[in-house]
């Protein structure tokens, strides 16, 4: 086999020239184009990843805000419910207090009405008793309106403390009320009965008080002795009123 070295050399040179041309005008621009395209794709991918991350962050932010808003709404609802419960309890307590006050006021008003009724009944009973006693005593002799009460007047004075009787004895004349004018004998009998129990002479200043109906009442600066029908009726009315309570 015969090898033409010149032909082989020329072909080799042609191949090297071709490789140089391809490398200079095709492969290098192509490589640069591919690199540029790769860089653009990488930049787009980075931008897309950054946008995705921003969107995810915004979504998370919105979710956090929604969660915070829900928590705030729940807190406000709880506080509102608690405030409503407190207001309800306050209103109920105020209503109970008002009812109790109204009940107490009504009870007090009823008690006052009953007390007024009792007082009115006692007044009517006292007035009726006085009228009846006056009508009955009007049928008695005048002497019965005084004579039967002289001894009782002395007994009433005798029941007083020693100091009070001593002060009465020193306060002569003593004021004596009677339902009618006393005769000289009746006045003397009264003075004698009082002198005995007081241990000293007594003089009397007699006044007429028809309200006594019958009996006598002795007044002094340090004591009063009531021995009259009106005094008895007053004590009875007072006792009736006290027991009614």
pLDDT at 193 over 90: yes
Please determine, for residue 178, whether its predicted confidence score (pLDDT) is greater than 70. Answer: yes
- In whole angstroms, how far apart are CA 214 and each of 20, 109, 219? 167, 40, 16
Residue 130 has pLDDT above 60, yes or no: no
Question: Which span out of 38-52, 64-78, 109-123, 154-168 was modeled with the highest average pLDDT?
Answer: 154-168
> Would you say the C-alpha torsion 18, 19, 23, 27 has a positive or negative sign?
positive
Band of residue 55 on the pLDDT scale cut at 50, 70, 90:
confident
Burial of 232 (0-12, 13-18, 19+ CB in 10 A): middle
How far is Cα 245 from Cα 240, in angstroms, rounded to an integer?
9
Q: What's the angle, vertex CA 236, arms to CA 235 and CA 238, rounded to 5?
A: 65
Nearest to 209 by CA among 196, 226, 192: 226
Q: Are 214 and 144 in contact (CB under 8 A)?
A: yes
Lowest mean pLDDT among 145-149, 162-166, 229-233: 229-233
Rg of the chain in Å (alpha carbons): 65
pTM higher than 0.85, yes or no? no
* pLDDT for residue 67 is more than 90: no
pLDDT of residue 147: 87
- What's the CA dihedral at 233, 238, 242, 245 to 10 degrees? 90
Is residue 171 a contact partner of residue 221, using CB atoms and an 8 Å limit?
yes
Backbone angles phi, psi at 55, to 5 degrees: -65, -40
Least confident of 37-46, 80-89, 114-123, 170-179: 114-123
């Amino acid at each position: 086999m015969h090898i033409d070295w010149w032909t082989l050399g020329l072909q080799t040179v042609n191949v090297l020239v071709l490789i140089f041309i391809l490398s200079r005008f095709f492969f290098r621009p192509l490589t640069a184009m591919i690199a540029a395209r790769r860089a653009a794709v990488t930049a787009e991918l980075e931008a897309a990843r950054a946008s995705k991350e921003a969107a995810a962050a915004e979504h998370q932010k919105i979710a956090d805000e929604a969660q915070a808003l829900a928590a705030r709404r729940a807190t406000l609802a709880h506080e509102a419910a608690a405030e409503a419960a407190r207001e309800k309890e306050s209103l109920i307590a105020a209503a109970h207090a008002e009812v109790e006050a109204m009940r107490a006021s009504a009870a007090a008003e009823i008690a006052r009405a009953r007390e007024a009724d009792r007082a009115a009944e006692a007044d009517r009973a006292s007035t009726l008793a006085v009228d009846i006693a006056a009508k009955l005593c009007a049928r008695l002799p005048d002497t019965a309106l005084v004579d039967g009460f002289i001894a009782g007047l002395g007994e009433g004075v005798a029941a007083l403390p020693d100091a009070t009787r001593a002060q009465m004895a020193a306060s002569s004349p003593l004021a004596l009320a009677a339902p009618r004018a006393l005769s000289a004998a009746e006045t003397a009998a009264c003075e004698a009965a009082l002198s005995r129990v007081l241990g000293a002479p007594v003089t009397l200043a007699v006044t007429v008080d028809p309200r006594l109906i019958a009996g006598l009442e002795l007044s002094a600066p340090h004591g009063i002795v009531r021995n009259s029908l009106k005094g008895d009726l007053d004590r009875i009315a007072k006792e009736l009123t006290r027991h009614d309570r």
